Structure 1
Amino acid sequence: MASAQGSASSSDSDPRSVNIDERKRKRMLSNRESARRSRMRKQKQLEDLAEEASALQKGNSQISEKINVTTQRYVEMQSANSVLRAQAMELTERLRSLNSVLHIAEEVSGHDIDIPEVPDPLLKPWQLHCPIQPIMTSVDNFEC
């Protein structure tokens, strides 16, 4: 047993083993510090990703709300267009009826009457001409 103690005490005093122990201790400290920095980087990345996810969710909510508002306005415009198409068809039929009366009056009177042609509003609606009432809109109809 004395030799085991002797060898233990001789290794404590051996400069090479002290050097190796010191290097091990420094390496362990360095590894701990490196692991600490790595944990901090991961934590920072996690926080950054959480912030980015939150910002993206907020952006998605805003886009979704704009889509809902735009869809609602589209439905309203589509409804208004349907009403206008029905009114245009009704007015076209009235004009045709009045033209028929003019044709009869022309035949009965024997005088030539300038009878305008009635366009079909659904075939070429962009060619309808109405000099009395210009089509007007506001910028508000086009904003989201």
Structure 2
Amino acid sequence: MASAQGSASSSDSDPRSVNIDERKRKRMLSNRESARRSRMRKQKQLEDLVEEVSALQKGNSQISEKINVTSQRYVEMQSANNVLRAQAMELTERLRSLNSVLHIVEEVSGHDIDIPEVPDPLLKPWQLHCPIQPIMASVDNFKC
């Protein structure tokens, strides 16, 4: 037993054994610190990604709302344009009817009457048949 104690005490006092134990302890502490930093980095990355997802979802929501508002305005403008087209057709037909009356009056009276040509606004809508008037718009027309 004395020899076992002697060998144990000699290994404790062996500078190589103490040196190896010290290196193992330092490496273990270093690994723990490295693992802690790694966990903190991952946590920070996760928090950043969650924040980015939230910001992107908010942006998507705002864009969707703008699309909905713009779509609604488009439908309203399309409806207004249809009404204006119908009114233009009606007014064109009334002008044609009045021109027919003028032709009859011209034939009956024997006097030359200057009868204007009735343009078809739907065939060539880009050609203006009336004096150019400035179009006034307010800032409200351009707000989203």
TM-score by length of 2: 0.90
Is contact 1:102–1:113 with CA below 8 Å preserved after alignment?
A: yes
* SS of residue matched to 2:126: helix
User: Any gaps of 5 or more consecutive residues in structure 1?
Assistant: none
The 1:103/1:83 distance shift into structure 2, 3 A limit, reads same
TM-score by length of 1: 0.90
Deviations 1:5-54 (A, max 9, x none): 43332211100111111111000000000000000000000000000100
Is contact 2:95–2:118 with CA below 8 Å preserved after alignment?
A: yes
Q: Percent identity?
A: 95
* SS of residue matched to 1:24: helix
1:1-144 alignment, distance < 5 Å: 2-131=2-131, 136-144=136-144
The 1:103/1:93 distance shift into structure 2, 3 A limit, reads same
The 1:67/1:102 distance shift into structure 2, 3 A limit, reads same
Q: State the Cα RMSD in Å.
A: 1.9
Is contact 2:119–2:129 with CA below 8 Å preserved after alignment?
A: no
Most deviating of 6-15 and 40-49:
6-15
Deviations 1:48-71 (A, max 9, x none): 000010010111111111111111
Q: Structure 2: how far apart are the matches of 1:137 and 1:83?
A: 20
Deviations 1:107-138 (A, max 9, x none): 22222211111111111122233349765443
Q: Structure 1: how far apart are the matches of 2:54 and 2:122?
A: 49
User: Any gaps of 5 or more consecutive residues in structure 2?
Assistant: none
The 1:131/1:143 distance shift into structure 2, 3 A limit, reads same
Q: Structure 1: how far apart are the matches of 2:49 and 2:97?
A: 70
